[in-house]
Amino acid sequence: MSGLPAVRGHEAARQLLARAALRGELPGSILLHGPTGIGKQRLGLWLGQLLLCEAPAGEEPCGACQHCRFALRLEHPDLQWFFPLPRPKGASGPEKLAAALEEARVSELAERAKNGTWVATPGEPVGLYIAQVRTLSRMAVTRPALGRRKVFLIGQAEHLVTQDASPEAANALLKLLEEPPPDVTLILTAADPDELLPTIRSRLLPVALRPLPDADVAAFLTEVLDTPARDASRIATLAQGAIGRALGFLPQNGAEGPLEAIRQRARALLEAAVAPGPVPRYAAAHATSPAGARGSFSDVLEALTGWLRDLASFASGAEDHLINPDARDFLAGLVRRVRDPAATAPAAIRLVDRAGALASGNVNPQLILAWLLTGLHRTLTGP
């Protein structure tokens, strides 16, 4: 595959945005928000392509003009995509950091254009740094290279690293959002708009996006990635309406995908929690990395919540609502080992939520997990 695959779903939002764009009424600063992995950034790129297209076909970019071809290959100089990156090692000083981040961004864009898809690595510390904001701001005040305007997409804007910000840089971003140049459109995406700074959020027109139907996710996997239909259907259910999440469940380089590894890790933790003796719980806590993987630890806690919800659903006879429908045998065995699962699972989920709050602070994940597994054992199996 080379270039971006066609955008999927979100027909109502696409129609709304296209009509405003074609009438010249699209605001200069927009926020696309919704659950992780549902295609917010791909929709932002689609909108940028439409704004640059020479001859839109109805409410869609033509796909054939020079602007469309460049946009689909992520090579259009007037459509710039910024996204969170790992902090470059050894880049000291603002100018060197900005240069290193821009080099990493260009390299990642080439890789994404080559593959057509991209999968975020859970737990990898990334950020949108002020050096990137300065680079974007400099680009925004220049003349368009090919088209009539410039479009900037800032993906996962909640990753803006405010602690590295000088007041001047933060104010530059706010000013750019509040009064973008007449030939500039700024598109931000976020999973949760409440995680953005209020001063930034107030300057954006919000457009809410919803998860895709499982059939759309499965169709993408089979048509674009040649995934067998049976596997595509199973993964689509796991992905909960998000193509980006579905990609994380696919095998990569001969190994299980990162989200599949997290799902299995969470299942193992639940098994340890209901084990009769304390040894499995202590071993599971000890096996957790004490540092450097807080993001992945939070992802495991989220997956653990999914397993507990499945436990309650299975015990209540609501098997059509399972997040992990391929694990019915495991859930059936779990129901026999847990005391009144329909009643105790919600209390267990509250414990996981408390563990997540601790994980967001500077608390050792091993200590959190030791506390959590002990609490889950008492809650799910009784004193």
| Domain match, 63 and 186 both | yes
Q: Higher confidence at residue 1 or residue 283?
A: 283
- Domain extent, residue 42, equals 11-208
| Domain match, 309 and 177 both | no
Please state which of the ranges 29-38, 177-186, 372-381 shows the lowest mean pLDDT.
Answer: 177-186
Per-residue pLDDT tens for 344-367?
999 999 999 999 888 877 788 889
User: What's the whole-number average pLDDT of the chain?
Assistant: 89
Paired residues of 33 in beta bridges: 190, 208
Asked whether residue 4 is assigned to any structural domain, the reply reads no
Distance, in Å, from the CA atom of 145 to the CA atom of 94, rounded to the nearest integer, reads 26
If you average pLDDT over residues 32-45, what whole number do you get? 96
| Domain match, 246 and 324 both | no
Spatial contact of 252 and 261, defined as CB atoms under 8 Å apart: no
| Domain match, 187 and 224 both | no
| Domain match, 160 and 304 both | no
Handedness of CA 81, 84, 89, 92 (dihedral sign): positive
If you average pLDDT over residues 328-334, what whole number do you get? 94
If you average pLDDT over residues 262-273, what whole number do you get? 94
Q: For the chain, how many structural domains are there in total? A: 3
Per-residue pLDDT tens for 237-248?
999 999 999 999
| Domain match, 187 and 98 both | yes
Which element (helix H / strand E) includes 270? Answer: helix 258-274
Asked whether residue 226 is assigned to any structural domain, the reply reads yes
| Domain match, 314 and 362 both | yes
| Domain match, 73 and 40 both | yes
Tell me if residue 189 falls in helix, strand or coil: strand
Q: Is the pLDDT of residue 294 over 50?
A: no
pLDDT for position 176: 87
Distance, in Å, from the CA atom of 124 to the CA atom of 292, rounded to the nearest integer, reads 8
Q: Is the pLDDT of residue 165 over 70?
A: no
State the CATH number of the domain containing residue 29: 3.40.50.300
| Domain match, 37 and 180 both | yes
Q: Higher confidence at residue 319 or residue 109?
A: 109
pLDDT for position 18: 96
Please state which of the ranges 59-68, 90-99, 244-253, 325-334 shows the lowest mean pLDDT.
Answer: 90-99
- How do 184-190 and 79-82 pair as beta strands? unpaired
Distance, in Å, from the CA atom of 309 to the CA atom of 313, rounded to the nearest integer, reads 6
Distance, in Å, from the CA atom of 5 to the CA atom of 194, rounded to the nearest integer, reads 30
| Domain match, 362 and 324 both | yes
| Domain match, 57 and 176 both | yes
Distance, in Å, from the CA atom of 27 to the CA atom of 188, rounded to the nearest integer, reads 12
| Domain match, 147 and 217 both | no
Cβ atoms within 10 Å, residue 19: 12
Asked whether residue 259 is assigned to any structural domain, the reply reads no
If you average pLDDT over residues 171-187, what whole number do you get? 86
Q: Is the pLDDT of residue 169 over 60?
A: no
If you average pLDDT over residues 47-75, what whole number do you get? 95
Asked whether residue 279 is assigned to any structural domain, the reply reads yes
Backbone angles phi, psi at 198, to 5 degrees: -55, -35
Backbone angles phi, psi at 235, to 5 degrees: -70, -35
Asked whether residue 2 is assigned to any structural domain, the reply reads no
